[in-house]
Structures are given as C-alpha cells and as structure tokens.
Chains A and B, each alone.
Chain A
Amino acid sequence: MVFDYAVIGGGIIGTSVFNKIIRKGKSCVLIEKELDLSTGATKANSGLIHAGFDAETGSLKAKFNVRGNALIEGLVKQLKIPFKRTGAVVVGNDLEMLNTLCERGIKNGVKDLEIIKDDELRKIVPNLNEDIKYGLLAKSAGLISPYMFAIALAEEGAKNGGVVKLDYNIQNISYKNDVFTISSDIEKIQCKRVVNCAGAGFNDVSKLLGVEEFPIKFRRGEYIVIDKSDFVKLSVFPLPTALGKGILATPTIDGNILLGPTAEDIDKYNTETTSLGIDKILNYVKTTFKNVPLSKNIRQFSGIRVSVGEDFIVQKSKKDGNVVLIAGINSPGLTSAPAIAEYVVEELFGEKNEDISILPRESYFQGDSGKIVCRCEKIGENEILKALNSPVPCLTVDAVKRRVRAGMGRCQGGQCMIEVCKLIAKKYGLKLEDIKKESKNSFVMFKGDDYEN
C-alpha cells in the first residue's frame, strides 16, 4: 500500500504528528530506527509542561508552548496517562528580572502568573533557602511522563490503523510518480508525504530525502533522580541564563524528584554522566534548598538536547513541498509537541477537516495487577503483560520500564530485571540471552559456555 504519510522519528514530535494524522483519518506509518519509541531526547528531559513565559514573544517556541499547554488536558484524558497541573515557580532575588519574565509571559498569552514572596513563597516551597526572597508562580505548568506520553500517542495511533515500524534502518529514499519509497535492508515503505522529525538524526534523513540540512548542535543535560519524596511539590526554577532554564528541582508525575539539568555543549552525541556535571548539580541545590533528600538518590542520567539557532524549525521543505522539516526541538519541545503536530497536519499539510472519532487507548493499569514483579514500584505481572501485548511492540527491558515503571524504583531493577527478561522472552519466544536492555546490541546476559542441557 501507499501510505498518505510517513513520519520519520519516534520521539514526542513524531508520535504527536503520527497521532494527529490518524485522527484526521489518513493512513500513516511511523518509522523509528531504535528498538523503542522515545529513546532520544524524549526519554531524558525534565518531564514538564511549561507555562510559556520563558520563550521570546513572537517566536515559534512561545506560540507552540502556550497552545500546546492548552491542548494537553484533552489529549491525556483520551490517552489515559497521568498529568498534573502542579504549577512552576521561578525563584530569585532579582525582582526586576522576575517582573520582565512575568510581563513576557502575559504577552505570550500565559494566564495565572503572579509574583509571590515571604510566607506565600515559603508555603509552596517549604525547603527553599531563607535568603531567596521572590518567586514568579505560573499555575498552568504541569507534569507528565514524556516517554509515556509519546508511547501512548503511538499506541492510540496504532490501535486506529496507524503502523509503527521499530528497528527500521533507512538505507535509501527514492521519489517516483509522486510516491516516496523508503527502503531498509529488508523492507520498502511507500508514502505520499514525509515528515522528518528524526531529532539528532535529522540531517541523516534530510540527506536521504535530498532536502535542507541544518547545523545541529548538541547540548548535554545531566540529572539526579531521587526516590519518591515530597521535597518539592512543584517545579522550582532558578532565574534563566543564556544556557537555558537552569538547574531545577521538580517532582515527576510518578512522585520522584529530579535535580538538573546541567547544560554543556558537546561535539558528539554522548549520554555519559560526569563528575563535573553531577558535582555542579549537588553544589547548586545546596545554594537554593535545605533538606535535600540526597540520601534517597537512586540514579543519574543525561539527556541530549539538539538546537539549530534560537528557535524551533517547523516548515515545509523549500525543495520539496511534500516534505515537512521539524528540527532543533529543545525545551519547550515536549509541551509544544501537540501544537506542532496540529500546525504541521492542519496548516502545512492542509488537513483541515475535524478530527474523526477514534478508539481510545487501553491503560496497562486496569484490573488486578497479578503477582508483583517490581517490588519497589509495585508493578504486577498482568501490568507488564498488558504493556507487552499493547499495539506498539515492547521489545526491551527499558521499553517495559518506560511503560510500567518496573525497575524505576530504589533497587533499580536489581530484583526484577531478570523476571522482566523472562516475560519478554516468553512473549516473543526468545531465550534469555536474546533479550536486550535498550539498543540492538545491548544484550543483558550471555549463555553459559561449554554446557547447555
């Protein structure tokens, strides 16, 4: 068949566009080169739905942020994923700068912004250091699981006729008689229109399409994850700097605390954590907070943010009107995703008809959990099986972890990882030594040598 659309890149942008196209009643294939969706920038960020005061007024970032924030509530309801408007607060002593941010927010169309101080500030951030006086409170900010958001969008799309191709390594793209042929070593996919939202791999895809490439830069952000705690109940930002929104302390939608990110320009895509980065976070949190529950630290990770200049790129290719290019999506990309998808599908591709009614996605968490597999997060076998049997293939240990949180807790999978491997192996008829952690060669274990009965 010839699909109406192919979306290349299974991050939050790709899954949002894919979902929107399906909601317009068009056929679509989502192409991802890794073994799971959301394995790039989407899996490693702060998980915030931003209010929208931060971006330069008039920029795409400002426009999509505010619109995206407004669209989120309707989406999460249908997707059956948790979302909470907990609010966010920027804290500092530079009242002038906070006022400037507030005014910018109002210009950008952000509602519910106010400057707070004293008791009011301490009441919402009890663990803030005494010497910090003011805060800009944005009530419309919220929390979401970024990877679960992407996976749920794709699952809903897949349930309603969309096709998700994981582990699809594009070797060649050709164009003939108004049809693109996107070939891997073993397969060919045909479509009429293409969206390139391949994130860090954007230029590789553009090259194959013969369209515009951009100078993409990488910036690494390191984080510390803390086990469930009520240390902060909303996202607390420092005043922004040229490098970004700064190191924040935020709850996650699942109740953990994130400290980070750092911001370090790097030449090569590299998700290492470093002493320098982690020390930077540790030193910063001490200057801003008291009672930081660092003894409950359970993990560190780093995420790579790509950028092409200051603003997002969301445009039709000037060389080929059937190709849309989405590049340089960094913060507030997660919040903006639903708005970017709407703009791409309705404005750039002109699919202006009303969304059709579609089947809702099924949650993994309905009914009995069954035997508990992940003790820290209380995840049962039935829940893992539902994730494994959902419309998007769930092939790896980390894919299970992102979907149901098995292995996300304080023992970090020490107790359940092998159990999860067993369930994946059973589902796909594989051996334990075939199971991967995340990427194609990330085998969890090997078969014992010399003997095998």
Chain B
Amino acid sequence: MKTDVVVIGGGPAGMSASLEASKQGASVVLIDVESRLGGILNQCIHNGFGLKHFKEELTGPEFAERLAQKVYQSNITVMLNSYVNYVGKNKVFVITPNGQEEIECKSIVLSCGARERTAGEIYLKGKRLAGVYTAGTVQKMINFYGKLPGKNAVILGSGDIGLIMARRLTLEGVKVKSIFEIMGHSSGLRRNIRQCVEDFEIPLLYNHTITRVVGDERVEGVYFAEVDENKNPKLETEKFLKCDCVLLSVGLVPENSLLPDETKREKFVVVDDERQTSVDGIFMSGNVLHIHDLADNATEEGEIAGKFAGLYAIEKLKRYDKVKVYFSNKVSYCMPQLVNKKEDGKFTIYLRANDNFLKKYIKVKCGDVDICKKFCIGITTGEMQEVEVEYSKIQGDLFVDIGD
C-alpha cells in the first residue's frame, strides 16, 4: 500500500492529525491497534472534555465520537485492529489480523499515546499478588466490563486517573480507604481533588507512600509510611491498612518505542514548533510526545503535527532556520524545544513548572527582551501552562522563566 501520510494511533491526537493532514490535500492512512477509534477516551466515561476544543462539556466517548465521525466523513483510510511493528525509512510495517502489510509513505505522525507506570517501575515491595493494578486498567475493568478490582481499595499516587477512579470506585460501592501521595502536592487537577476526593471524604495523605503489599494470594493489606525530604519512608511511622486491592496512579510514560534509535531526545523527544522530530518526516503529537492534562490539548497538538506532516508529504513544507527554547530551573520542561524562525503568525509554548507559584508571570525572553509575558494567578506542577509567542519577535534563542 502507498500513501502520503501514515498516522499511528487513533486517539484524539491521531484523529486530529489525520484530519489536518487530509485537509492539506495529502492522502492519509490512520492505524490503530484497537477495534475502534478514540484511544483512551473510550474508557474515560467521565465529563470534563471538550471545553476548549468543542466549546462544550463532553464525556470521553462523546469527544471521541465527534472526531471519529469527522474521520469517517473524510477520505482517510482507517486500519483498525492493526499494530505497527516497525517504522523504517518512508515505510511502516503493520501486523493486521490477516497478516503483515507494508505501507510506503512520505511522512509519519506518531500519536500512539502513553502507558501507565507500573508497580515494578516504582519498586513496590511485597509479593506479586492479584489485586495490584494500574488505575487505567481498573478504569477499563469497571467501565467496559462492569467488574470490580476488589471491595476495599487503596490508591497510590494522586494522578488524575487515580482521582477519577477514586470517585468511580466509591459510586460503584467500593470503599476507597485512602490515597497516598509521595509528593507534598497532587499531580492531578485541582477540580478533580474537589469533585473526586473531597466530595466523598476520601483521605488523601501527602508525603506518604506504600512500603509493602501483603497477602497470600490476593492483596490483604498494605503497610504505609510518611516519607522524609528524600522521599524515603520513615519506618517508625509505618502503619498497616487492610484492603483487597491497590490502584497505582503514579504517572504516564510516552510509548515511543517505534521511534528510530537516532531520534534526538532530551527529557522528551526533541521536536520543533511543527512537531517534527530530528528525523526528517517523522512528526509526533499527543501523549507519545509529552503527557497532556487534557484531551483538548492533545487534539490541538495533533492538528499541528498533522498539518505539517501533510505539507511535508506533498512537498509544501518550507524550511527555516531554527532557534532553541531554553528554560530556567523553575521550569520542568518546555514543548517545543526548537522553533522555526517564521516571518509571521503565532505559536504556543507549553510548559510545566518545577514548583507551585502564586501570582507570577511566565516570561519568554529573547536576549534581554521579554517578547512575551503572561500573568498567572496560580501555577502548579500538575497543570500545564501555555504562552503564545509571535514569530516575528524571535531574533535568536528563547528563554522561558517564571518570575515577577
């Protein structure tokens, strides 16, 4: 098979990338491993999606359905139940239910999302028992299959999926006995703390972690303890809590194993404002690039990657000199890390702070000049910030800082 653009992953980023690439006049093949489009949105049955992108509050499946309908109304070729095994130079190797297929293409958008961090990655101690699951696995268990992971749950980590699941479990009759967060603050959205945790009076213990999971065949309880400033458990504070399942909400990891080895990486894969990687013709968007708080943002990023992947494929992508985006130690990372020096228009820098700040400015400097300054009432580590920058103001490398 031959096409202009291959988009890998049919979640919000992949669908919007396909739509934008197609709008540029490129032929598009959209590949997803699941039997339906939508990615993780299908299991996120809660509301709170779409306010930014559709200007309307939607649930995950509704958000997915809106994009999917557009995809099916366009002339994008959709390959479902298909797994991309390998990405080569202008080629994508796919395992379909009927055998292997090779797709020749001019550009590729990787939008294959992220996976959840596991018990092993955080060195969770104890036996390998039934009843220890990532929050997303439990989300699928309950929302798709109507099954429960246990009757008395403990949640480790306060990421958004964990918070959402705390509410879902409680409403389904599972007692959520406690949420433990090793940091001094949650990595989830404030509104989720409010409506998922405080609404149901679930104890959320900051600076605490699980030291051991115990049980014979299934989980029968956990030992937990307060942690010191180095995040090591203070053993004298260790206590036992009876429970029969443990949910982990300890972060997401971009699933970018399909990238060629030579792709340039820093904290995340390095992309420019068009979301092109250091490998010509490979673009990225959504959680495979960096973890988004909102499907709306992943969708926007998909639109960027898709647009330029489409232009690249039909040989209409202009080349510019690039500048680098540096940042201060108050910033954890910026996306993108490279910017094309275009003459006009605007682009957005997404960033995460290293700490919580009240009433500060996010500043983008070029040399000694503040080319952009945005006032923020509150900045937290859990919430992605964004600032818009005009291309015309770029003279050289950019520096992003948080200050007065």
Which residue numbers of A lie inside 8 Å of B, CB to CB? 225, 270-275, 278, 297-301, 368-372, 375, 378, 380-381, 410-415, 417-418, 432-433, 436-452
Q: Residue on B with the closest CB to A298?
A: B120
List 30 A-B residue pairs with CB atoms under 8 Å apart, sorted by A's residue number. A275-B211, A278-B123, A297-B123, A299-B119, A299-B120, A301-B128, A371-B83, A372-B33, A375-B255, A378-B83, A378-B95, A411-B118, A412-B118, A412-B119, A414-B115, A414-B137, A415-B137, A417-B137, A418-B141, A440-B217, A441-B216, A442-B130, A443-B218, A445-B145, A446-B147, A446-B149, A447-B146, A447-B148, A449-B148, A450-B173
Say if the beta carbon of B251 comes within 8 Å of chain A: no
List of B residues within 8 angstroms of A449 by Cβ: 148, 172-173
Please tell me if the beta carbons of B130 and A438 are within 8 angstroms of each other in the complex: yes
Known: A368-B99, A448-B147. A439 touches B217 (CB 8 A): yes
Please tell me if the beta carbons of A446 and B148 are within 8 angstroms of each other in the complex: yes
CA distance A274 to B223 in the complex (A): 12
Give the shortest distance, in Å, between B140 (CB) and chain A (any CB): 6
Which residue numbers of B lie inside 8 Å of A, CB to CB? 33, 81, 83, 85, 95, 97-100, 115-116, 118-121, 123, 125-130, 133-134, 136-137, 140-142, 144-151, 172-173, 211-212, 214, 216-218, 253, 255
Known: A275-B125, A378-B83. A412 touches B120 (CB 8 A): yes
Of A272, A368, A372, A375, which is within 8 A of B127 by CB?
A272
Please tell me if the beta carbons of A448 and B81 are within 8 angstroms of each other in the complex: no
Known: A414-B116, A414-B136, A445-B148. A300 touches B123 (CB 8 A): yes
List of B residues within 8 angstroms of A300 by Cβ: 120, 123, 125
Please tell me if the beta carbons of A278 and B95 are within 8 angstroms of each other in the complex: no
Give the shortest distance, in Å, between B214 (CB) and chain A (any CB): 8
List of A residues within 8 angstroms of B100 by Cβ: 368
CA distance A436 to B130 in the complex (A): 8
CA distance A344 to B81 in the complex (A): 50
List of A residues within 8 angstroms of B85 by Cβ: 378
List of B residues within 8 angstroms of A445 by Cβ: 141, 145, 147-149
Please tell me if the beta carbons of A446 and B120 are within 8 angstroms of each other in the complex: no
List of B residues within 8 angstroms of A441 by Cβ: 216-218
Please tell me if the beta carbons of A410 and B137 are within 8 angstroms of each other in the complex: no
CA distance A1 to B375 in the complex (A): 85
CA distance A411 to B118 in the complex (A): 7
CA distance A450 to B211 in the complex (A): 34
Known: A372-B95, A414-B116. A448 touches B134 (CB 8 A): no
Q: Residue on A with the closest CB to B99?
A: A368
Q: Chain A interface mostly helix, strand, loop or mixed?
A: loop
List of B residues within 8 angstroms of A271 by Cβ: 127-128
Please tell me if the beta carbons of A414 and B134 are within 8 angstroms of each other in the complex: yes
Give the shortest distance, in Å, between B294 (CB) and chain A (any CB): 22
What would 4 more interface pairs be, CB under 8 Å, given A418-B137, A418-B145, A441-B218? A433-B147, A439-B217, A448-B146, A449-B173
Please tell me if the beta carbons of B130 and A444 are within 8 angstroms of each other in the complex: yes
Known: A300-B120, A378-B85, A447-B148. A442 touches B129 (CB 8 A): yes
Please tell me if the beta carbons of B147 and A443 are within 8 angstroms of each other in the complex: no
CA distance A417 to B125 in the complex (A): 21
Please tell me if the beta carbons of A414 and B118 are within 8 angstroms of each other in the complex: yes
Residue of A375, A381, A441, A447 contacting most chain B CB atoms (<10 Å): A375
List of B residues within 8 angstroms of A410 by Cβ: 115, 118, 253
Q: Residue on B with the closest CB to A275?
A: B125
CA distance A368 to B186 in the complex (A): 45
The 7 tightest CB contacts between A and B, nearest first, are A299-B120, A372-B83, A437-B130, A442-B130, A445-B147, A442-B217, A412-B118
Please tell me if the beta carbons of A272 and B125 are within 8 angstroms of each other in the complex: yes
Please tell me if the beta carbons of A298 and B83 are within 8 angstroms of each other in the complex: no
CA distance A448 to B149 in the complex (A): 9
List of A residues within 8 angstroms of B145 by Cβ: 418, 432, 445
Please tell me if the beta carbons of B116 and A432 are within 8 angstroms of each other in the complex: no
Of B115, B128, B173, which is within 8 A of A415 by CB?
B115
List of B residues within 8 angstroms of A270 by Cβ: 127
List of B residues within 8 angstroms of A278 by Cβ: 123, 125
List of A residues within 8 angstroms of B125 by Cβ: 272-275, 278, 300
Of A412, A418, A442, which is within 8 A of B140 by CB?
A418
Give the shortest distance, in Å, between A154 (CB) and chain B (any CB): 23
List of B residues within 8 angstroms of A375 by Cβ: 33, 83, 255
Residue of B97, B149, B173 contacting most chain A CB atoms (<10 Å): B97
Give the shortest distance, in Å, between A432 (CB) and chain B (any CB): 5
Of A369, A443, A447, which is within 8 A of B130 by CB?
A443
List of B residues within 8 angstroms of A417 by Cβ: 133, 137
Please tell me if the beta carbons of A411 and B116 are within 8 angstroms of each other in the complex: yes
List of B residues within 8 angstroms of A372 by Cβ: 33, 83, 95
List of B residues within 8 angstroms of A436 by Cβ: 130
CA distance A450 to B98 in the complex (A): 41
Give the shortest distance, in Å, between B148 (CB) and chain A (any CB): 5
Q: Residue on A with the closest CB to B137?
A: A414
CA distance A411 to B141 in the complex (A): 16
Please tell me if the beta carbons of B116 and A448 are within 8 angstroms of each other in the complex: no
List of A residues within 8 angstroms of B142 by Cβ: 448
Please tell me if the beta carbons of A370 and B97 are within 8 angstroms of each other in the complex: yes
Give the shortest distance, in Å, between A419 (CB) and chain B (any CB): 10
Q: Residue on A with the closest CB to B125?
A: A273
CA distance A276 to B227 in the complex (A): 17
Give the shortest distance, in Å, between B142 (CB) and chain A (any CB): 7
Please tell me if the beta carbons of B97 and A371 are within 8 angstroms of each other in the complex: yes
Please tell me if the beta carbons of A272 and B97 are within 8 angstroms of each other in the complex: no
CA distance A443 to B131 in the complex (A): 8
Please tell me if the beta carbons of B120 and A297 are within 8 angstroms of each other in the complex: yes
List of A residues within 8 angstroms of B130 by Cβ: 436-438, 442-444
List of A residues within 8 angstroms of B116 by Cβ: 411, 414
